[in-house]
Homo-oligomer: A and B are copies of this chain.
Amino acid sequence: MTVTAPDRFDVVFAALADPTRRSIVRRLADGEATVLELAEPFPISLPAISRHLKVLEHAGLISRGRDGQRRPCQLRPEPLIEIAAWAEHTRAAWEHRLDRLDAHLRRSSDHTPSPPTPEEP
């Protein structure tokens, strides 16, 4: 257990920070696959894949079922939606701030030599 509460985004971004895991996620977007099928394109050992899958599962990016001795993996898109929304929201805030700055500069072009960085009241 970690002392500080682990943000949900921490584990999702960290999971996607690895190229192997992103590749697995991308692969699972095309449909369910077993561990061996997922491992096939990569030059690394099966235990390494197994741990990557555990990381993805822990991040909520995949879920695993049971089919005999196989453990098929499925993509769970919710975290993808969340991080896309976060990135988009942050970008939108940035753009909105630029708009406000632009409007401010437009207004104060006559007199009122205000500082270049307008603080929000």
- Chain A interface residues toward B at CB < 8 A: 7, 9-10, 13-14, 16-19, 22, 25-26, 28-32, 75, 77, 80-81, 83-84, 87-88, 90-91, 93-95, 97, 101, 117, 120
Contact = CB atoms under 8 A, between A and B. Distances in A.
15 contacts: A7-B22, A10-B19, A13-B14, A13-B17, A29-B90, A31-B97, A32-B117, A75-B90, A77-B90, A77-B91, A77-B94, A80-B87, A80-B88, A84-B84, A87-B87
Interface of A is mostly: helix
Number of copies: 2
A88 B84 contact: yes
A16 B18 contact: no
A90 B27 CA distance: 9
A84 to B, nearest CB: 4
A13 B84 CA distance: 12
A90 B25 contact: yes
